[in-house]
Structure 1
Amino acid sequence: MGGHLLVVSLGYEFIDNAVAYTTPVFAGLDATVQYSFGTDSKNYAEGATEGQSSVERLLSGAVRYRSDNLMEAFGIETINQAQPQADRNGLDDSISYNLGANYNAGWAKFFFYTQIFENYTSAAKTTTFSLDGGVDGYGVNVGVEVPAFGGAVKAGRLRREPRR
C-alpha cells in the first residue's frame, strides 16, 4: 500500500551529522528540534565544507501530542540549499509544513497526513516531479486499518498536487 512518500516533497531519507533534542513528555506533549550540518556527505560537490553554505543543511522542529487513542503531530522542515548551485538554478531554501494524526477507535485505526511544501527539487516518490528550480505543492493521505482474517485490511486515499 502506498504511503506518505507518494504524495509529499522528497526530503532526506537520512541526514549526516545532526544534533537533535527531544523534550520530556508533559501532559502528553513533547517537542523535537534537529539541525544537520550537512545532509548527504557522499554527494558533496568539490570543495564543499560541512556546516558552510556550500552544502545543504537541514533544520526541523515538531510538536506532538499523544493520549491513549490519539496521536497528533505538527512539524516544520527547512533545507538551506547548497550555494552557489541553488542560485544558478533559481532555487530558494525549501520549507514544508506537516500535520499528521491517527486515532484508534478499537474496531479500526484512522490516519491523516498532509504537507504543504515549497522549493523542493523533487516530489512524490513513485512518480517523481523534479525541477532544478524547485517544486511547490501539497499532499494529503487519509486511511483506515481494520483488523480482519488474522491480519489487517488497509485502505487509503492519496492526493498530490505538485506545481511550478
Structure 2
Amino acid sequence: MKKTLAALAVLGAFAGSAMAADVTVYGIVDVGVKYVHSDTDVPGTDATDSLTMAAGNQSGNRFGLKGVEDLGNGVSVGFVLENGFAIDDGTLGQSNRLFGREANLFVRSAFGELSFGRVGALDSANGSYGLLGYLSPFGASWAGAVEFSTFYVGGARMDNTVTYKSPNFAGFNAYAQYSFGMNTKDKFGTEADHNDNTVAPVEGKSGDTRYAALGATYVAGPFNLAASAALYNWSSTEYTDKPDNGYTLTAGGYYNCGFAKTYLSAQYFDNMYKASSNATDKVGFASVGLDNESFKGWAAQAGFDMPLAGGTAMLAFGYADTESANSSDHENNDNEFTRWGTSVGYTYSLSKRTNVYGVAGYYQDKKTVNKVENKPETTTVYVGMRHSF
C-alpha cells in the first residue's frame, strides 16, 4: 500500500510539473509492406524482387516530448526531444541516438526564435526548421517516389547547430543556421568497415563537416513557398582530396487553387556527395551512381494532389541531371548520371489520427562512367497505415 501511494505521489508530481511547463507527449507509428523490383541493367545479372515489412514509409516512426514555458514579458523557453525508431524490429534510428530526430532547446520572443541542439538542416524536410517538406505532394515520404531524397540532395539532421527564425512579417519568415560539426558522434569509415579512421571528428574543427545556410518561407492565401541556400564545408579528415565546399540552392512550394494543390520546385547543387547509410557527412541521392566522388547538377519536381472519394490522390514527376564536379580527375571526363521518374498515390483518413495509404513509384537512371553506359530502373510499391498520437 505504501509503495502504491508513493508511486501515485511521484506520478502526481510529474503531472503537475508537466502542466506547469506545458509538456506534450506525441508520436507517430507507421508500418506497411513494400515491394521493390530492381533491374541493374548489368549483363549477366538478373532483376530482383522483394516483399518486406517496412517501417516509417509516410512518416518516420517517432516518440517525442516537447514543451514551452512562459517567462513573461513576451519571452518563452521551450524544447523538443524526439526519438526515432523502427517499429518492425524495435531498433533505434539515426545511428542509435536516443533523441536522433531532434534535441533542441530554444528561446522565443518578439525578436524571433533562437535554437540550440541537433535539428534538421534548413535545406531539408526534417524537424522544426527543415523548410523543404512541401516541394512535392509526396514531401519527404515513400523513398523511391518523387520525393525529396530521391531527386534532391541535402536533407541532413545535424549536431551542434544554432538556428535563428525571424518573427513573421505578413506571411514571411527568414532563417539563418550554422552547425559547428554536423556529425561528431559517428566515426568515419564505410558501412562495412568503421575502422578507416578511429578518431571521431572534433566539433568546430576541420575534421568535421561544418554547415551554414540562409532560408525563407512565405505563407499567404493559396501560396506556401520556401527557399534555402546552404554551404557544406567538407571534413578534411574524411575527404583527403580536400574538395571544394559543397552547396545547394533550392526553391519551390505549392499553390492551392481550391480543388487541387499544384507543386513546383527546383534545385541546383555543386560538390555534393552520395548519401551514406551510416549517417556520416555525405549528403545526396541515396542511390546515385557516382560513388566516392563529388558531383554537381540540377533537379526539378512537379505534381499535384486533390481530394478524391474522401481521401487524397497524388501524382508527381521528377528529373535530375548530374555529372562529376571534378571530371578532370577521371579518365575521359565523361562521368554522368541522370534520373527521371514518376509516382502516384492515395491516402485515406480513417479518423483524425489514423490513415491508410497506397503509393507506387518508378524511376530510371542513366549512368555513364568511363564511357560505360547502363540504365538501371526501380519500381517501388507501398501499402500501409499511419497512426499519430
Q: Please report the TM-score for the alignment, with normalisation by the length of structure 1.
A: 0.90
Cross-structure match for 1:40? 183
Report whether the alignment pairs 1:5 with 2:149.
Answer: yes
CA RMSD of superposed structures (Å): 1.6
Conserved in 2, the CA contact under 8 Å of 1:91 and 1:132? no
| Aligned residue runs from structure 1 range 1-164, under 5 A | 1-9=145-153, 11-45=154-188, 46=199, 48-86=201-239, 88-122=240-274, 123-125=284-286, 127-164=287-324
- Secondary structure class of the residue paired with 1:42: coil
Identify which range, 34-43 or 148-157, moves more after superposition.
34-43
- Secondary structure class of the residue paired with 1:96: strand
Distance 2:293 2:241 in 1: 5
- Deviation readout 1:1-51 (Å, 9 max, x if unpaired): 430211112x24310010000000112211011111111122245163101
Could you say if the C-alpha distance between residues 36 and 17 of structure 1 is closer, same or farther in structure 2, counting changes exceeding 3 Å?
same
Looking at secondary structure, tell me which structure has more strand per residue. Answer: 1
Could you say if the C-alpha distance between residues 81 and 120 of structure 1 is closer, same or farther in structure 2, counting changes exceeding 3 Å?
same
Q: Please report the TM-score for the alignment, with normalisation by the length of structure 2.
A: 0.40
Query: Deviation of residue 130 (structure 1)?
Result: 3.8
AA in 1 matched with 2:261: K
Could you say if the C-alpha distance between residues 47 and 109 of structure 1 is closer, same or farther in structure 2, counting changes exceeding 3 Å?
closer
- Secondary structure class of the residue paired with 1:38: coil
Identical residues among aligned pairs (%): 24
Query: Deviation of residue 113 (structure 1)?
Result: 1.6
AA in 2 matched with 1:156: A
Higher relative contact order (CA 8 A, sep 6+): 1
Distance 2:150 2:304 in 1: 17
Conserved in 2, the CA contact under 8 Å of 1:7 and 1:138? no
- Deviation readout 1:36-79 (Å, 9 max, x if unpaired): 11111222451631011110011111022110210222210111
Distance 2:156 2:247 in 1: 16
Distance 2:171 2:231 in 1: 26
Larger radius of gyration: 2
- Secondary structure class of the residue paired with 1:24: coil
Query: Deviation of residue 84 (structure 1)?
Result: 4.3
Conserved in 1, the CA contact under 8 Å of 2:146 and 2:317? no
Conserved in 2, the CA contact under 8 Å of 1:90 and 1:133? no
Distance 1:73 1:102 in 2: 9
- Secondary structure class of the residue paired with 1:106: coil
Unpaired stretches in structure 1, ≥5 consecutive residues: none
Unpaired stretches in structure 2, ≥5 consecutive residues: 1-144, 189-198, 275-283, 325-389
AA in 2 matched with 1:154: M
- Deviation readout 1:68-117 (Å, 9 max, x if unpaired): 2102222101110111443x335211101001121111100011121100
Conserved in 2, the CA contact under 8 Å of 1:89 and 1:132? no
Could you say if the C-alpha distance between residues 119 and 15 of structure 1 is closer, same or farther in structure 2, counting changes exceeding 3 Å?
same
Identify which range, 77-86 or 127-136, moves more after superposition.
127-136
